[in-house]
Chains A and B, each alone.
Chain A
Amino acid sequence: MTRMSERWQHRLLLWPLPAVLLLCYVLPFAGIAVWSVTLPEPGMANYARLATDGAIHAVLWRTLYLCATVGVLALLLAFLMAYCWLYSSPGWQRWVELCVFLPFWISVLVRTFGWLIALRSNGLVNGWLEALGVIDSPLALTRNSLGVVIAMVHFMVPFAFFPLVSSMRQIDDRVLLAARGLGASRLRVFVSIFLPQTLPGLLGAFIMVFVFCLGFFVIPAILGGGQTVMAAEYVFLQMFQTYNWGIGAAICMLMLVLVSGLVWILLRFSRVERLVG
């Protein structure tokens, strides 16, 4: 009986996953890169169109603008939740956890559907606002970018919550207590002591949320109602409705460049292990 050498045993453990990824993910990726310069005909026509086509520019700017808006808002809410989770009694903590984890584990489709119902012209939110006398006629909350932003913020809050909690945990709360003891108001403690220490965590969480938002597809497609087409939905339409695979591939390449840049910033300026740990 021949025993496999140690070296081969190690290789047999190590290589299956990278091999599958190389073969089924990286190699096809090269195919997409080739599509972007060969479909419909060889040349740089797709990239030229990317640089000049006003409709595509509108989609790309809208995507960046919405992602930035969503990033800021989601960060704000997640910051609030993380702050209250960290500095409250165990009872409170449990409620905060439930409200963050429950949406987190529920499918994006179900949540989008929930917002569709809540934001409809005869939905919950409009009903409440009318009952309170704030508005006379229903607001248009779906089929525009407002609904998309609301649902995307909702989706992103848990994703921003976890990295923020782990970065806030590093802060020594005795410093905050000392500042209070020396007579600083809560607001002052928050602005001058707490906030500066969370800035690296905030930057990291913002980039994470921004990158996640870029590829968003389901929420704009359902809540935007064709009015708020973002890059991902645009690619989908190019592929399966106009069969213009080349331009779809070119947009994918552009998104990838953008994401690589952002991830590079993330790795460079923010301690990733703190964000996931």
Chain B
Amino acid sequence: MNIYRAGWLAKLLALVTMGFLMLPLIAVIPVSFTGKRYLSMPEGDWSLRHYATLLSSPEWLGSLLHSSVVAVCAALLATLLATAFVIAIWYRSSAWTRWLIGLCMLPLIVPPVVSAMVLYFMTTRISRIAPGLGYDSLPGVILAHTLLIVPFGVINMLVAISRIDRRIELASRNLGASMWQTTWMVILPNLRLAMVTTFLLCFVLSWEEIAVTLFITSWEVVTLPRQIWGGLRDNVDPVVAAISTLLIGIVLLLLLTRMAVNSWRDARRPG
């Protein structure tokens, strides 16, 4: 806890910045309640028609379904791959380890558009052998998303596993457990929470992914961001405002809940 305090000028400028950060989110909300068919401020005629469209249109509902399936599968795969990898390098590191971690960070460092081109190449190649698994297919998108989000999973799991006391592994091994048993019965139970947070992080990243998805899908697989993109490119569809407002509402609710839980915990902590 710091005792030094920022001056009024810094605080005033920070307030302006906070306004700037919130501005686009606030701008979206009233537009979503407009009664008109085009993008406009409500000006008196408030209506829920765009929310109704959202919940009844097969395109929007289908995109929600696609996004959910892709995000759940990709996050699950990324979490499992990252966890196994991190446990393995925690057990035993060698001269290779640094390079392997670097390899896992590649999709994070490489600009998204380069990743997009690489994954376009990859999915179209798979399509030549198995059309149902490559370009513009659910498995193809899931694989591409998994590769993109896995670096975040690895970082998250690395941070978590570095907090585990090495002696529990030694104790388990000394008591005769194999590496397999140690992993299942000792290490994984200690990583349970980290795996959940990794999954959630990966889920959100896949749920929002747009740049690569644009390259590797055409019309079979339309994720929610891709659907929004379509609504933004041509005549801007006010349904985009409705879905945006819903997404902002969900994130705000989650953040406020977390803040409330944190302050409740702080208040309970003695001292």
A contacts, CB < 8 Å to B: 3-4, 6, 9-10, 13-14, 16-18, 20-22, 24-29, 31-32, 35, 77, 80-81, 83-84, 86-88, 90, 92, 94-103, 105-118, 123-125, 151, 154, 157, 173-174, 176-177, 180, 186, 211, 214-218, 222, 231-232, 235-236, 239, 248-249, 252, 255-256, 259, 263, 276
Contact = CB atoms under 8 A, between A and B. Distances in A.
Interface string B235-249: 010001100100110
A269 to B, nearest CB: 17
B82 interface: yes
A88 B6 contact: yes
Given A18-B85, A215-B112, A217-B113, A95 B18 contact: yes
A276 B241 CA distance: 34
Interface stretch (B9-17, B46-54, B164-172, B191-199): B9-17
B247 A107 contact: yes
B147 interface: yes
29 contacts: A6-B179, A9-B178, A9-B180, A10-B92, A13-B91, A17-B85, A18-B100, A24-B143, A25-B107, A26-B106, A29-B118, A31-B121, A31-B122, A35-B121, A98-B255, A106-B248, A109-B232, A110-B25, A110-B248, A113-B244, A117-B28, A117-B241, A118-B23, A217-B113, A217-B210, A236-B116, A249-B117, A255-B113, A263-B109
- Name the 10 nearest CB pairs between A and B, nearest first: A215-B111, A114-B24, A14-B88, A232-B113, A13-B88, A118-B27, A28-B122, A84-B14, A17-B85, A107-B208
Contact of B147 (A20, A90, A180): A20
A102 B25 contact: yes
Given A16-B85, A249-B117, A177 B4 contact: yes
Nearest to B148: A25
Contact of B25 (A24, A103, A116, A232): A103
A180 B109 CA distance: 42
A259 B147 contact: no
A129 to B, nearest CB: 13
B69 to A, nearest CB: 18
A124 B178 contact: no
B20 interface: yes
Given A31-B121, A217-B211, A110 B28 contact: yes
Contacts of A114: 23-28, 244
Interface of B: 2-7, 9-11, 13-14, 17-18, 20-28, 31, 39, 81-82, 84-85, 87-89, 91-92, 100, 103-104, 106-107, 109-122, 125, 143, 146-147, 150, 154-155, 178-180, 183, 204, 207-208, 210-211, 214-215, 225, 228-229, 232-233, 236, 240-241, 244, 247-248, 251-252, 254-256, 259, 263, 266
Given A25-B118, A102-B22, A276 B89 contact: no
Given A10-B91, A110-B25, 7 more contacts: A20-B147, A31-B125, A83-B10, A84-B6, A125-B23, A154-B21, A215-B114
B118 A32 contact: yes
Nearest to A24: B122
A10 B28 contact: no
Contacts of A29: 118
Given A28-B122, A29-B118, A177-B4, A20 B84 contact: no
A113 B227 CA distance: 13
A236 B215 contact: yes
B121 A256 contact: no
A111 B247 CA distance: 11
Contact of B103 (A9, A21, A214): A21
B104 to A, nearest CB: 6
Given A10-B179, A106-B248, A87 B4 contact: yes
Contact of B27 (A83, A124, A249): A124
A177 B120 CA distance: 56
A263 B82 CA distance: 23
B255 A101 contact: yes
Contact of B111 (A28, A249, A255): A255
B251 A106 contact: yes
B21 A80 contact: no
A16 B22 CA distance: 42
A72 B71 CA distance: 34
B17 A81 contact: yes
A216 B115 CA distance: 12
B229 A109 contact: yes
Most buried by B among A16, A18, A95, A174: A18
A225 to B, nearest CB: 10
Contacts of B259: 94, 97-98
Contact of A16 (B81, B109, B118): B81
Nearest to A253: B114
A123 B10 contact: no
B37 to A, nearest CB: 16
A204 B84 CA distance: 30
B113 A252 contact: yes
